[in-house]
Amino acid sequence: MKKLTRDELMGLEQYATERSDFRSKVMAHKKNRQVQIGEHATLYFEDRLTIQYQIQEMLRVERIFEAAGIQEELDAYNPLIPHGSNWTATFMIEYSDENERKVALSKLIGIEDKVWVQVEGFDRVYAIADEDLERNTEEKTSAVHFLRFELGETMVAALKGAAAVNMGIEHENYHFSVMSLPQPKRDSLCEDLD
C-alpha cells in the first residue's frame, strides 16, 4: 500500500465541503477493521483510507494549510499505513470509569508486547509496539498504543488462500483471544496484503 502524498489530501476548504460524506464513508469502512479482544481492549486496524481521514482531521482541527505542516502530519501518520506484508493497528485499552481505568493501566504495563495475531497453521506473531515513542512509565501503561504485525510470505499466501485468523492478548492481568475472525473482518484485513 503506497504512502499518502500532499497532492492526495484535500485542502481545508474542500475538506469542509466534503467532510460529512467522507466521514460516513470512513466510518462504514472502519466497522470491519475493529477487533475487540475481551471487554476492555480493541484493535483498530489502519489502512490508507483510515490514515487519510486521521490526517485530514488533524489538518482541520489544527488549521494546518502550509506545506511544511502538512508534510509533518504525513511523516507522522504514513508509517501507520501497512506496506503489503504487515498489519498496523491502533490498540486501545478502554474503561469508561476513570478510576477503574487508572487502576487497570497500572496493572497492564507491557500489554502492548503481548498482543498477537495468528494465521491458521502458523505460530503467533507478536506486535512490534510504539515505534514512534515509549508509552509506558514505571507506574502505568498508556491507554493507546500503535502496533505493527509483520507477516511472512507464506502467511500472506495462506491468508489469500482463505486461512483463518485468530487474535489475542496474553498479559498476566489480561488474557483473552478471538478465534476465527468473522469473514467480513478477515476479508477487510486481507485487502491490506499485496
Q: Check pLDDT > 80 for residue 24.
A: yes
50-72 confidence digits (pLDDT tens) = 999 999 999 999 999 999 999 99
Where along the chain do its domains lie? 6-190
Confidence class for position 135, pLDDT limits 50, 70, 90: low
pLDDT of residue 155: 96
Grid coordinates of 169? 492478548
- Residue closest to 88 by CA, chosen among 147, 151, 143, 37: 147
Q: Check pLDDT > 90 for residue 108.
A: yes
Phi–psi pair at 40, nearest 5 degrees: -125, 10
**DSSP notation for 12-52:** HHHHHHHHHHHHHHHHHHHGGGEEEETTTEEEEEE-HHHHH
DSSP 117: E
Confidence class for position 1, pLDDT limits 50, 70, 90: confident
| pTM (global) more than 0.85 | yes
